[in-house]
Amino acid sequence: MNSFETVKRYKNLSESPVSLLDRTYEMIENDDLNDYITLTKNIAYEEAYKSEKRYKEGNPLSELDGVLFSIKDNIAVENIRMTCGSKILSDFISPYNATAVERIMKKGGIIVGKTNMDEFAMGSSNETSYFGPVKNPKNKDYVPGGSSGGSAASVASGHACISIGSDTGGSIRQPASFCGCVGFKPTYGTISRYGLTAFSSSLDTVGIASNCVADSKLAFEAVRGRDEHDSTIEDKKNDKRNYKKIGYISVIKHMDGPVREVYEKRISQLSDAFVLEEVAMDFIDVSISTYQIQTMCESSSNLARFDGIKYGLQPKEGKTLRKIYSAVRGEGFGSEVKRRILIGTYFLTERDGEYYELSFKLRDYIANQIDLLFTKVDAIVLPTSLTLPFRFDEKTTSPLQMHLSDSLTAFANLSNVPAISLNGGYIDNLPCGIQLVAKRNDDDNLLEFASTAEEIWSKNE
């Protein structure tokens, strides 16, 4: 499902937003993917009837009018439950819309529901959700990736056309790789984070999952731009230009053979249209450690607001604040969230926060190395993940192995550059993503390059 085919059917009246919504909800109920936590049927049908009327009158609001969206459940939708995949927020109702949601709805987009996710976006497989794991629509025995696994699964299964998710270290790109769709993480500061529940504030980015690059472009244009609620928005644009020289890496540690096979095949297919140049990306080795320190420290601080006093899970016992906090967080947070809070607190307190301070020095080093690379090439192509999708419970007992899932994606968040994952093909019916990365604020040119790569690769299937 893509927006262009959908809107075309709306315009010739061969299908209506209401009938498509009927079929979509029926699919969701029958497919057993657990990709949604909450279905927003009331507001969806209300907007679908309005959209249908506009098409009959020949006055759609935009190219997204009547297009079905899913929203990751850490992004606020007014009067709808927002759980962040956690028990501690299992009954919380959002009092407002996130900026991204508000802008989608103003374009006529229809919100199908809130998608399942790793608890507070902490995970790479969608197995830490309080509401159970999401199943990969390509093979239900495998994970869909995380933390935006529900977003990617909803798009890949046809349960939505486009999904708005979040990406802190690869959380929209890695699930897109595992589910065989497109996952776009823009430059930090181009899409407002207002209404996005903070995990790691200096890295969190609102991202987009779709079935084609064109849909990511449409959604990006709809939600980007300045917002009075988010002071980090810059909305800088580079001059339009065509990429000519593309960098690639030949030595990637711990990469599975099938992933290398797909990667090398797709690189070679770009050689007729671009000049390829091998580059070194040694900073990848330190990026995952830097990412873990930063996110654990910032999540330790950000999640302190969930105390059972202001909102969320209420205490059943406790006569002192300390006992109330302990009871609420002990019951409300899952094991992965607790682990990261504890480690983050240690990093922040041990040696007066020396580890956290060091992580920023490493982050500056990574950003400087990326900037240097983009003086030599226009974009970089590399795999999205070291592995193909893995089976449930395969890595849950090894946090280190799970963290390696972000090895090839976290550097883009640390250096605040845009990146997009495209489906590179299938090995034994399992998808394999290829990631394209460009310099800071070059989002529009990156999307054009992604469209070209998508076209080249589709012709070589």
Hey, what are 449's tokens?
A: 């390059």
CB 432 within 8 A of CB 453: no
Hey, what are 68's tokens?
A: 């079905």
β-pairing, 430-438 with 110-115? unpaired
Q: Which of 3, 51, 70, 72 is catalytic?
A: 72
In angstroms, the CA 355 to CA 378 distance is: 34
CB atoms within 10 A of CB 426: 15
Bond preceding residue 147 cis, omega within 30 of 0: yes
Sign of the CA dihedral 54, 57, 62, 65?
positive
Q: Which of 129, 163, 171, 421 is catalytic?
A: 171
Strand segments, DSSP code E, in 203-357 are 205-210, 245-248, 275-278
In angstroms, the CA 177 to CA 165 distance is: 15
**Separation of CA 342 from chain center:** 25
Q: Which amino acid is at 388?
A: L
* 344 half-sphere exposure, CB direction, 13 A CA radius: 22
Sign of the CA dihedral 395, 401, 406, 410?
positive
Active site residue 51: no
In angstroms, the CA 428 to CA 86 distance is: 34
Active site residue 72: yes
Hey, what are 49's tokens?
A: 């009837």
Residue 325's SS3 state is helix
Active site residue 268: no
- For the annotated catalytic residues, the residue numbers are 72, 147, 171
